[in-house]
Amino acid sequence: MRLLLVPLLLSSVAALIPRDLLFSDPKYSATSLSNDGRFIAFIGPDESGIRNVFTKCVNCRHTRQVTFEKTNHVQGYQWTAIPDIILYMYDNDGDENTMIFKKNISQAAPKDDLVVVSNRPGVKGLIIANNREDRKVLVGMNDASPAYHNIYEFDLYTNQLTLKVRNNRFPMFVIDNDLRIRLASQQMDDGSMMYYRLTSEGEKLDPITTDEAYWQDYLRVAPDDKPLSMPIGFDKSNEIMFWIWGEGSDLGNLVQFHFEKPEEKEVLYTATKAQIGQIITHPSEKNLLAVTEVYHRPELYVANETAMEDFQYLVNLRPHGSLQLLSLSKDMNTWLVTYLSAEKPFEVFVYRRWLKTAEFLFNTHPQLEGFKLNKQVGFDFPARDNLQLQAYLSLPPDAKLKNTTDVAAPDQVYAEMGMLPVRAQKLVVMVHGGPKARDVYGFSPINAWLTSRGYAVLQVNFRGSVGFGKRLTNAGDGEWGRKMHYDLLDAVEFAVAKGIADRDQVAIMGGSYGGYATLVGLTFTPEVFACGVDIVGPSNLQGLLEAIPPYWLPMYNEITKMLGADMDTEAGRQSLRARSPLYFAEKVKKPLIILHGANDPRVKQQESDQIVAALQKHSIPVTYVLYPDEGHGFTKQHNRKAQYGFIEKFLHGCMGGQYESFMPGQYNSTAILKADGFATETLIPSTSAPVKDVKSKTAPALFYRPVRIPTNRGIYNPVPTRMEQQMAQPAQPQPMAYPNYVHPASHMQPGGFGAAAPIPVKYTFLG
């Protein structure tokens, strides 16, 4: 039987994977279990292609649509303490003013049984705390001041909103298991983060105000420790607090202390290879089960001996994938898990703990079954100043590789890793956004698409990225257009020196900060790159600062620290100008395509308009595509398909990769071609293999490291550092449960101009 499958798999190697299959919405995303473990909820496209929420019976597999949006795509949802009640969210065409709705999902409820929690024009709603135990949840709205979120209590039974915190000061609050406000934080002028607790008089207020008289100093996080140090939550008693603490450690420690004695920290876990990437806790008992560290791939460290057998079984189930927990039932008897692999989409399993068995549920992208996808290799290389950097390389699936006997001894390790092709490849340097984010291992439709077209993909975690320690993150401050760019150049030089890349066929591409990096590459170092793809990237750093969303204003000092200058002094303005591609547009010598969403609240449309105008002033060809119904990234699948159609045609024109034909107007996209550089480019004749529509039909490390944590104590997982996936393509099933504390600004990634939801998060939240 296995021999019969071989011709089918081999026949798909030379075929292009159709864009329509790669960039359709995943059938399953944002997957999570109900409290009792009987149902799975997920976001998927309905019959009209609109993303809605569905539920699936774990045992009977019956699937039912439970939200019925006709034009707005659901971006997230949460289960609540009431089994038939969920909360779900969406915005208006990418404006990020999130609206929140309550929905009765029982079969007896009418489709239009919908309660508005927050939908005021111009107001961004946030679900701040939902412990899935109480009839009430906490929501935030910047309805009084656009810079700060007031906190309201929403009663799931009566639908009543009650003001709990009148806020004109704090971007972050820490909330305990019983939904009580315990701490708030504020950035100080020296760059540190100060945490405050309520005074005895402040605790009596209802609603609480943020006036200074009612708050007192609690704990200070030093400026250099901010990339690591963050509160996690409380134990079951709400007396013991858990933090990831950065003082004295580059990678961070998981610590605990009594709430009344924050100076007496006890280390529970010390990261050794990379920052903690996932914290897994018991949903009701709050005791720690396991953590992961993510360097090249996630490594799992089990902290609870009673759970060791469960994790060992699940790791052995797919030894060549990296285990990721998506959700747990309240009693922890039912688990939802997936496995990270670059070579296949995400397979989701249900694990029944009492039976010690796991059952396959679904593949998130069944339409890609039968296609051979790329491999992805993580590796290290030195920057010019000897800073060690991490990167990922993806090669075309049919690229022939060198053996260790074909290369000199210093390069044999790279040959063993499978990253040295026989012939130098056309290379796309894919630059992540944020920039305080990181690239990660795993399936990516974008990588699958590029490698299918014959391009190798290089993803660099340059200085300023997160996940590899505070020194690397802090090293990016002030280095936009400088050392952060040099890191990309050094990665290209490494790839050329190792025979991975053809020096004359290297493109640069990215979204948000990655779009800025593209513009920097084509203006500051125009000789390095054959062409560039800028997606929602800023061209003028001062303009970027002037137009930041109002709810980022409390983090203004953090953003200027990251940029290395502000706009309040002449020296600061000159520094920003010197690193703004807008003022060097005449230096562009290679083809450039720019794509932008008109409703982008982070990087305004003007950022693309103005550099296109500057290029045209110098008679430099440029292609400019504007989406009137998108924001910071393109989330509607018809627009996303067109986005990659434009880019594919562009890359084919400048580097000659394989090409699936594309015409503006295809996919019923709303794209407006405002400038057509294609008309002035000489397109290389297509040499693409025919598109074939195939219908659906190194083991990770596991460690047992005991962690000193008392029985019945545990943690909530930290608030997400929003790890954007490139260009807002939803690529993996994501849990949507939230911890019991909130950083409103962090949901927008302050100082991070990353892609809009839906986006994978750094941490997995369980239960």
How do 455-461 and 425-431 pair as beta strands? parallel
Catalytic residue among 34, 229, 327, 512: 512
Active site (annotated) includes residue 73: no
By the 8 A CB rule, do 623 and 592 touch?
yes
Q: Which of 49, 76, 98 is nearest to 641 (CA)?
A: 49
What letter does residue 564 receive in the DSSP assignment?
Answer: T
Q: Which of 309, 304, 181 is nearest to 238 (CA)?
A: 181
By the 8 A CB rule, do 307 and 351 touch?
no
How do 501-511 and 455-461 pair as beta strands? unpaired
Q: Which of 624, 616, 611 is nearest to 678 (CA)?
A: 624
Nearest 5°: the CA angle 13, 17, 22 is 140
Nearest 5°: the CA angle 475, 479, 480 is 135
Active site (annotated) includes residue 365: no
Active site (annotated) includes residue 600: yes
Contacts of 546 (CB under 8 A, 6+ apart): 567
Q: Which of 734, 760, 677 is nearest to 44 (CA)?
A: 734
Catalytic residue among 282, 632, 743, 747: 632
Rounded Cα distance between 485 and 535, Å, is 17
What letter does residue 633 receive in the DSSP assignment?
Answer: B
Rounded Cα distance between 423 and 82, Å, is 59
Rounded Cα distance between 511 and 756, Å, is 11
Q: Is 19 exposed, middle or buried (0-12, 13-18, 19+ CB in 10 A)?
A: buried
What letter does residue 664 receive in the DSSP assignment?
Answer: T
Residue entry with tokens 């608030």: 719
Contacts of 754 (CB under 8 A, 6+ apart): 433, 434, 437, 512, 513, 632, 722, 723, 724
Rounded Cα distance between 475 and 395, Å, is 30
What count of other Cβ atoms lies within 10 Å of the Cβ of residue 438?
26
Tokens of 304: 């609870």
Contacts of 303 (CB under 8 A, 6+ apart): 268, 269, 288, 289, 290, 291, 705, 706, 707, 709
What count of other Cβ atoms lies within 10 Å of the Cβ of residue 403?
11
Q: Which runs of E-coded beta strand occur in 357-495?
A: 357-363, 376-382, 388-394, 425-431, 455-461
The HSE-up count of residue 694 (CA atoms within 13 Å, CB side) is: 21
CA 212 from chain centre, in angstroms, equals: 35
Q: Which contiguous run of DSSP H or E holds residue 442?
A: none
Tokens of 565: 């200058």
Rounded Cα distance between 682 and 415, Å, is 37
Largest CA distance in the chain: 76
What letter does residue 287 receive in the DSSP assignment?
Answer: B
Q: Which contiguous run of DSSP H or E holds residue 334?
A: strand 334-340
Beta bridge partners of 529: none
**Could you give the residue numbers annotated as active site?**
512, 600, 632
